[in-house]
Amino acid sequence: MSAPHTPTSTPSTAPPASADSARPGISVRSIVKMARQGDAFACLTCYDATTARWLEAAGVHILLVGDTAGEVVLGFPNTVHTPLEFLITLTAGVKRGAPSTLIMADMPFMSYQADDAEGVRNAGRFMTEGLADLVKLEVDRSFAPLVAKLARAGVPVVAHIGSRPQQAKLQGGYLAAGKTADAALALLDDAKALVEAGAAMLLIEAAPAEVAEAIVREARVPVIGCGAGPACHGQVIVLQDLLGMTPWQPAFAIPGAEVGKAILAAAKGWVSRVGARELGAHPYAMSDAERDAFTKAVALRPRAGSRA
Binding string, residues 9-48; x marks residues near ligand KIV by CB under 6 A: ------------------------------------x---
Q: Which residues contact 247 (CB under 8 A, 6 or more apart)?
A: none
Secondary element (H or E) of residue 134: strand 134-138
The answer to whether residue 91 forms part of the interface with ligand KIV (CB under 6 A) is no
117-176 binders of ligand KIV (CB under 6 A): none
State the nearest-atom distance from the C-beta of 254 to ligand KIV, in Å.
15
The answer to whether residue 236 forms part of the interface with ligand KIV (CB under 6 A) is yes
Type of residue found at 54? W
The answer to whether residue 56 forms part of the interface with ligand KIV (CB under 6 A) is no
Among 84, 144, 135, which Cα is nearest to 109's? 84
Q: What are the contacts of 211-217 at 24+ separation with CB within 8 A? A: 211/178, 211/184, 211/187, 214/184, 214/188, 215/187, 215/188, 215/191
The answer to whether residue 226 forms part of the interface with ligand KIV (CB under 6 A) is yes
The answer to whether residue 238 forms part of the interface with ligand KIV (CB under 6 A) is yes
250 in Cβ contact with 78 (< 8 Å): no
For ligand KIV, the closer of residues 178 and 267 by Cβ is 178
Sign of the torsion formed by the C-alpha atoms of 203, 207, 209 and 211: negative
State the nearest-atom distance from the C-beta of 108 to ligand KIV, in Å.
9
The answer to whether residue 68 forms part of the interface with ligand KIV (CB under 6 A) is yes
The answer to whether residue 106 forms part of the interface with ligand KIV (CB under 6 A) is yes
201 in Cβ contact with 160 (< 8 Å): no
> Total residues at the site for ligand KIV (CB under 6 A)?
11
State the nearest-atom distance from the C-beta of 82 to ligand KIV, in Å.
8
Secondary element (H or E) of residue 152: helix 144-153
State the nearest-atom distance from the C-beta of 236 to ligand KIV, in Å.
5
Contacting range for ligand KIV; rule: CB under 6 A; set: 64-72, 109-117, 214-222, 274-282: 64-72
For ligand KIV, the closer of residues 16 and 190 by Cβ is 190
Q: What are phi and psi of 89, to 5 degrees?
A: -65, -45
112 in Cβ contact with 137 (< 8 Å): yes
The answer to whether residue 205 forms part of the interface with ligand KIV (CB under 6 A) is yes
For ligand KIV, the closer of residues 125 and 160 by Cβ is 160
The answer to whether residue 212 forms part of the interface with ligand KIV (CB under 6 A) is no
Q: Which residues contact 136 (CB under 8 A, 6 or more apart)?
A: 64, 66, 104, 105, 106, 107, 157, 158, 159, 160, 203
State the nearest-atom distance from the C-beta of 3 to ligand KIV, in Å.
33
Burial of 151 (0-12, 13-18, 19+ CB in 10 A): middle
202 in Cβ contact with 161 (< 8 Å): yes
Catalytic residue from among 56, 71, 138, 205: 205
Catalytic residue flag (residue 205): yes
Contacting range for ligand KIV; rule: CB under 6 A; set: 10-18, 62-70, 144-152, 181-189: 62-70
Interface contacts to ligand KIV, rule CB under 6 A: 45, 64, 66-68, 106, 203, 205, 226, 236, 238
- Residues annotated as catalytic are 205
